[in-house]
Amino acid sequence: MPTDRLRSVVPVFGSARSDAETLQAILTYVERHEPTTDDLVG
């Protein structure tokens, strides 16, 4: 994967109020499934 992609900032989905919930869901997914960087980008 190109290093410039790894340094980019991508907003999370949802409104400003749901950012924390969205981030928690992402972290839970990563913890359970241990996806690769390519899996997450896809």
What is the arithmetic mean of pLDDT over 17-34? 87
The pLDDT score that the predictor gives to residue 25 is 87
Q: Using CB atoms within 10 Å of the CB of residue 25, give its burial: 0 to 12 exposed, 13 to 18 middle, 19+ buried.
A: middle
Q: Using CB atoms within 10 Å of the CB of residue 3, give its burial: 0 to 12 exposed, 13 to 18 middle, 19+ buried.
A: exposed
Higher pLDDT, 14 or 26: 26
Q: Residue 38 — pLDDT band, cuts 50, 70, 90? A: confident
**pTM of the complete model beyond 0.85:** no
pLDDT digits over 4-25, tens only?
555 555 666 667 678 778 888 8
Residue 31 has pLDDT above 80, yes or no: yes
Answer yes or no: are the C-beta atoms of 36 and 29 closer than 8 Å. Answer: no
